[in-house]
Structure 1
Amino acid sequence: MLLSLDEFLWALRRDGFAVSTAQAIDAARACALVGFGDRAALRDAIGAVVVERAADLRRFHACFDRFFSPAGAHVGDLWGRLRERGFSDAELSALRDLLSAAAERSGAHGDAVAFHALTGAAGELEQMLRSAGIARVLAPMTSSLQVGFFAQRVMDQLGVPAVASALRRIRSALQEALGEDRGAALADALSAELERMRHRVREHVTLSLRRLEGEAPATAGRMDVPFASLGEDEMEDVRRAVRDLSERLRGAERLRRRRARRGRIDPHRTLRRSLQTGGVPFRPARRARRRDKPRLMVLCDVSDSVRVAARFMLEFVCAAQDLFDRTRSFVFVSELAETTELFEGGPTNVVLARIQRGEVVSRAHNSNYGRVLRAFEERYGREVDRRVTIVILGDGRTNYFPDEAEVLRRLRDRARALLWLCPEGPGAWGTGDSAMLRYAAASTKVLVARTARELETAAREVVARRA
Structure 2
Amino acid sequence: MLLSIDEFLWALRRDGFAVSTSQAIDVARACALVGVADRAALRDAIGAVVVERAADLRRYHESFERFFSPEGAHVGDLWGRLRERGFSDGELSALRDLLSAAAERSGTSGDAVGFHALAGSAGELDSVLRSAGIARVLAPMTSSLQVGFFAQRVMDQLGVPAVASALRRIRSALQEALGDDRGGALADALTAELDRMRRRVREHVALTLRRSEGEEPASAGRMDVPFASLGEGELDEVRRAVRELSERLRGAERLRRRRARRGRIDPHRTLRRSLQTGGVPFQPARRARRRDKPRLMVLCDVSDSVRVAARFMLEFVCAAQELFDRTRSFVFVSELAETTELFEAMPTNAALERIQRGEVVSRAHNSNYGRVLRAFEERHGREIDRRVTVVILGDGRTNYFADEADVVRRIRDRARAVLWLCPEGPGAWGTGDSAMLRYAAASTKVLVARTARELETAAREVVARRA
Give the TM-score category using the shorter length. 0.5 to 0.7
Query: How do residues 199-238 of structure 1 correspond to structure 2 at under 5 angstroms?
Result: 219-220=219-220, 223=223, 225-238=225-238
Kept after mapping to 1: 8 A contact 2:155/2:201: yes
Q: Does 1:322 align with 2:326?
A: no
TM-score scaled by length of structure 1: 0.64
Change in 2 beyond 3 A, CA 1:381/1:196: same
Counterpart for residue 61 of structure 1 = 22
Task: Give, in whole Å, the separation in 2 of the partners of 1:282 and 1:190.
Answer: 73
Which has the higher mean CA deviation after the structures are superposed, 319-328 or 182-191?
182-191
Counterpart for residue 138 of structure 1 = 137
Counterpart for residue 260 of structure 1 = 260
Counterpart for residue 163 of structure 1 = 163
Kept after mapping to 1: 8 A contact 2:355/2:361: yes
Query: How do residues 39-54 of structure 1 correspond to structure 2 at under 5 angstroms?
Result: none
Task: Give, in whole Å, the separation in 1 of the partners of 2:126 and 2:223.
Answer: 29
Task: Give, in whole Å, the separation in 2 of the partners of 1:334 and 1:205.
Answer: 39
Alignment coverage as a number of residue pairs: 409
> What do the CA deviations read for 1:54-99 (whole angstroms, capped 9, x no partner)?
xxxx95533456789999xxxxx9999999x999986666345423
Structure 2 unaligned blocks of 5 or more: 1-5, 7-12, 14-18, 37-76
Change in 2 beyond 3 A, CA 1:422/1:208: closer
Deviation at 1:321, TM superposition (A): 0.8
Counterpart for residue 386 of structure 1 = 386
Kept after mapping to 2: 8 A contact 1:137/1:154: no
Change in 2 beyond 3 A, CA 1:102/1:272: same
Task: Give, in whole Å, the separation in 2 of the partners of 1:306 and 1:459.
Answer: 17
Deviation at 1:127, TM superposition (A): 12
Letter in 2 for 1:138: V
Task: Give, in whole Å, the separation in 1 of the partners of 2:271 and 2:199.
Answer: 53
Higher RCO by CA contacts (8 Å cutoff, separation 6 or greater): 2
> What do the CA deviations read for 1:3-51 (whole angstroms, capped 9, x no partner)?
xxxxx9xxxxxx9xxxxxxxxxxxxxxxxxxxxxxxxxxxxxxxxxxxx
Counterpart for residue 303 of structure 1 = 303
Task: Give, in whole Å, the separation in 2 of the partners of 1:80 and 1:271.
Answer: 69
Change in 2 beyond 3 A, CA 1:285/1:94: farther
> What do the CA deviations read for 1:342-391 (whole angstroms, capped 9, x no partner)?
32343322221111112222333444444434443444333222111112
Structure 1 unaligned blocks of 5 or more: 1-7, 9-14, 16-57, 72-76
Deviation at 1:228, TM superposition (A): 4.1
Q: Secondary structure at the match of 1:386?
A: coil
Change in 2 beyond 3 A, CA 1:323/1:190: farther
Task: Give, in whole Å, the separation in 2 of the partners of 1:180 and 1:86.
Answer: 16
Cα RMSD for the two superposed structures: 5.5
Kept after mapping to 2: 8 A contact 1:331/1:339: yes
TM-score scaled by length of structure 2: 0.64
Task: Give, in whole Å, the separation in 2 of the partners of 1:89 and 1:282.
Answer: 76
Deviation at 1:192, TM superposition (A): 9.5
Identity over aligned pairs, percent: 84
Change in 2 beyond 3 A, CA 1:188/1:426: closer
Counterpart for residue 294 of structure 1 = 294
Counterpart for residue 344 of structure 2 = 344
Deviation at 1:286, TM superposition (A): 3.6
Counterpart for residue 246 of structure 1 = 246
